[in-house]
A and B are shown apart, each in its own frame.
Chain A
Amino acid sequence: MGIARSARSRWSLRVLGLGYLTVLLLAPLAVIFYKTFEHGLAPPIDAITSANGLHALKLSLTMVAIAVPLNTVFGIGCALLLVRHRVRGSALIDAVINLPFAISPVVIGLSLFLLYGTTGWLEPALAEAGIKVLFSVPGMVIASIFVSLPFVVRETVPVLQEIGTEQEQAASTLGANAWQTFWRITLPAIRWGVAYGVVLTTARVLGEFGAVSIVSGQISGQTETLPLFVEKQFFNFNEPGAYGASVVLALLALTTLLAMNVLKRKEDA
């Protein structure tokens, strides 16, 4: 009786969980795929291979290529600072790192707008140097870096804490200097944590909409990333274009997710 009931409750839990996921996640995704290929392969492919579509794809990948390495280097350095060299102000750094998680991306975009915009604080100095940040790629890169800043730090800190300092000390007694110890011992030991952070950062930069939308000015063929392209196609009633680009975004995201799962399994092994 008890077993039967627990089996039944296990089944209902399973159904509930799957149903929830289906309604909220899988169904919308399936509809996108269905809508995209409703009239065959040609319309979405045409939309994506249009000049603006290709430019958006290229720009999104460029953002990844710039923002992810910068955040990776910063993230590892920051994690080392937080875990290995508790200095005055570490607690403050630790708290500030989380800000991008807490603040809405739109607010981040607005604050960058205020800082770099025509009436912004930094505008005179930047104008003099001939650098255009707002409505151009530098501003979008800054916004992307901002919103995806915490991932590598957050994924690396616990791994660094877990491996402890003994391996590093052993390396130093064997004659390795700080740089050699980092490259040969610390980095290989934390590599799966870092990789996991890199995957999350990539996914976030690819998908970022709010902050980038504000600082980019959304100029087609110039400052339009894939998510911005999707939105514009959608509001212009170009449904094949919107769906096609969405599918490309979804596939990129699925690839990173898959990579994340593979890494997670390696990390656990």
Chain B
Amino acid sequence: MGISVEGACKSFGDFQALDDVSIEVPAGSLTALLGPSGSGKSTLLRAIAGLETLDAGRVVIDDEDVSSKPVQKREVGFVFQHYAAFKHMTVFENVAFGLKIRKWGKQQIAARVHELLRLVQLDGLSERYPSQLSGGQRQRMALARALAVEPQVLLLDEPFGALDAKVRKDLRSWLRRLHDETGVTTIFVTHDQEEAMDVAEQLVVMNAGRVEQAGSATDLYEHPANEFVMSFVGEVNRLGEHFVRPHDMQVFADAEDGTVEAMIRRIVPLGFEVRVEVVLSDGADVWAQLTRAELQRLELREGQIVHLRPGQAKSFSGSPSSDGHGASTPQDPQDGGDAEVSAAA
């Protein structure tokens, strides 16, 4: 049940939510639509479901053009960010809803609902109301409800966005396992690159109503098509026209070939990793990601002059640069005196 969208356009008044978007989702895959808010990712998902009608372009599910098919005929499972639980129904009734609409028999419904509740680990709570469930349980109920009707495709709109960090992480790996078990072609929308990389096989990075790049997590991380993708799928330092990942910043105690001088402004231990914030002679703030062992071997301390070599630097000719130096350098250079900075410069 592959999905493809071809040349999708959609505007809301003056706002162009989708601008000639085309994507390919292979059958049985788990694909993430990744992008900042307002990038059009949710609109695209809703257009695939039939909850939005496109101004132009078409949606093809399993080789069938469904663009003019109403939502209730598209056989899609849809999960909303805020669960959209039917509040006046019990968990059982929520999951049974689509089956009742399809006029299944009572016993068949009961069997199917309990099968799904077991799958989402809610079998003991079938007589509860949504208001008696936690956020994570509600979202699992919503998933069971969407899966009950055996949809051709499963669409999830920021499914974990309203949950706290711990529950979100649990549900992620759980969704991954669920997908492996059911094999339903799944698309989910997220603005969290870590979540997208953790769960999905294929990522589609969107920005301002367009697809910036599609590919595997490794593809996007190692071969980003532009500055936007590079800074969206990971941390990045900007050095003039070049972009370097913090873990590709090599730090030396003495000058070597191709190194530049810098002063350590702050050393932040983050467990296994250490964030070393430095300031370059031209005043630019960048940071390097080192392991604890490297830090100890180099015997680095705050205020020290070191030498940096930007490995794996990338430049994107013609790509727009919205902000100045160091696209994602830390925001809080608390210590590190100004006098020492000018001394280093």
In angstroms, Cα B85 to Cα A167, docked, is 7
In angstroms, Cα B82 to Cα A169, docked, is 12
Say which residue of A170, A176, A185 sits within 8 Å of B78 (CB atoms): A170
Kindly specify which of B14-22, B27-35, B95-103 makes contact with the partner chain: B95-103
Q: Which residues from A are CB-within-8-Å of B87?
A: 167, 189
Say which residue of B73, B84, B85, B98 sits within 8 Å of A169 (CB atoms): B84
Q: Is B72 a contact of A175 with CB atoms below 8 Å?
A: yes
Q: Does A118 contact B (CB under 8 A)?
A: no
Q: Is A184 a contact of B77 with CB atoms below 8 Å?
A: no
Q: Is A175 a contact of B98 with CB atoms below 8 Å?
A: yes
In angstroms, Cα B71 to Cα A180, docked, is 14
Q: Is A188 a contact of B51 with CB atoms below 8 Å?
A: no
Q: Which residues from B are CB-within-8-Å of A23?
A: none
Smallest Cβ distance from B215 to chain A, in angstroms?
29
- Chain B: which residue is nearest A166 at the CB level? B84
Q: Which residues from A are CB-within-8-Å of B97?
A: 171, 174, 176, 184
Q: Is A172 a contact of B80 with CB atoms below 8 Å?
A: no
Q: Does A50 contact B (CB under 8 A)?
A: no
Q: Does B86 contact A (CB under 8 A)?
A: yes
Say which residue of B88, B98, B102 sits within 8 Å of A189 (CB atoms): B88
Q: Does A173 contact B (CB under 8 A)?
A: yes
Smallest Cβ distance from A118 to chain B, in angstroms?
52
Q: Is B145 a contact of A174 with CB atoms below 8 Å?
A: yes
Q: Does B49 contact A (CB under 8 A)?
A: yes
Instruction: Say which size band chain B's interface belongs to.
Output: 20 to 34
Q: Which residues from A are CB-within-8-Å of B71?
A: 169, 172-173
- Chain B: which residue is nearest A181 at the CB level? B72
Q: Does B59 contact A (CB under 8 A)?
A: no
Q: Which residues from A are CB-within-8-Å of B76?
A: 173
| Contact of A175 with B102 at beta-carbon distance under 8 Å, contacts A185-B86, A189-B87 already known | yes
Q: Does B146 contact A (CB under 8 A)?
A: yes
Interface hits, A156-188 → B, CB 8 Å: 166-167, 169-177, 180, 184-185, 188
Q: Which residues from A are CB-within-8-Å of B80?
A: 166, 169-170
In angstroms, Cα B97 to Cα A24, docked, is 52
In angstroms, Cα B80 to Cα A166, docked, is 8
- Chain A: which residue is nearest B76 at the CB level? A173
Q: Is B49 a contact of A173 with CB atoms below 8 Å?
A: yes
Q: Which residues from B are CB-within-8-Å of A169?
A: 51, 71, 78, 80, 84
Contact with B along A186-208 (1 / 0, CB 8 A): 00110000000000000000000
Q: Is A167 a contact of B102 with CB atoms below 8 Å?
A: no
| Contact of A173 with B72 at beta-carbon distance under 8 Å, contacts A188-B88, A189-B87 already known | yes
Q: Which residues from A are CB-within-8-Å of B50?
A: 173
Q: Is A174 a contact of B84 with CB atoms below 8 Å?
A: no
Q: Which residues from A are CB-within-8-Å of B276?
A: none
Smallest Cβ distance from A204 to chain B, in angstroms?
28
Interface hits, A50-101 → B, CB 8 Å: none
Contact with A along B86-114 (1 / 0, CB 8 A): 11100000000110011000000000000
In angstroms, Cα B49 to Cα A171, docked, is 12
Q: Which residues from B are CB-within-8-Å of A189?
A: 87-88
Q: Which interface residue of A173, A175, A188 has the most chain B CB atoms within 10 A?
A: A173
Say which residue of B77, B85, B86 sits within 8 Å of A173 (CB atoms): B77
Say which residue of B74, B77, B101 sits within 8 Å of A176 (CB atoms): B101
Q: Which residues from B are CB-within-8-Å of A177?
A: 72
Q: Which residues from B are CB-within-8-Å of A184?
A: 97
- Chain A: which residue is nearest B100 at the CB level? A184
Q: Which residues from B are CB-within-8-Å of A185?
A: 86
Q: Which residues from A are CB-within-8-Å of B88?
A: 188-189
- Chain A: which residue is nearest B49 at the CB level? A173
Q: Does B263 contact A (CB under 8 A)?
A: no
- Chain B: which residue is nearest A171 at the CB level? B97
In angstroms, Cα B78 to Cα A223, docked, is 57
Smallest Cβ distance from B71 to chain A, in angstroms?
5
In angstroms, Cα B72 to Cα A184, docked, is 15
- Chain B: which residue is nearest A173 at the CB level? B78
In angstroms, Cα B83 to Cα A167, docked, is 9
In angstroms, Cα B70 to Cα A213, docked, is 52
Q: Does B236 contact A (CB under 8 A)?
A: no
Q: Does B149 contact A (CB under 8 A)?
A: yes
Q: Which residues from A are CB-within-8-Å of B102?
A: 175
Q: Is B84 a contact of A167 with CB atoms below 8 Å?
A: yes
In angstroms, Cα B153 to Cα A173, docked, is 11
Q: Which residues from B are CB-within-8-Å of A175?
A: 72-73, 75, 98, 101-102, 149
Query: A166-B80, A166-B82 are known contacts; what are 6 more A-B pairs with Cβ within 8 Å?
Result: A170-B145, A172-B51, A172-B71, A173-B146, A174-B149, A175-B149
For this complex, 5 residue pairs linking A to B, each with C-beta atoms less than 8 Å apart, are A169-B80, A171-B86, A172-B71, A174-B98, A174-B149
Residues of B bordering A, CB below 8 Å: 49-51, 70-78, 80, 82, 84-88, 97-98, 101-102, 142, 145-146, 149
Q: Closest 10 interchain pairs by CB?
A: A174-B98, A166-B84, A170-B84, A173-B78, A188-B88, A175-B101, A172-B71, A175-B72, A176-B101, A172-B72
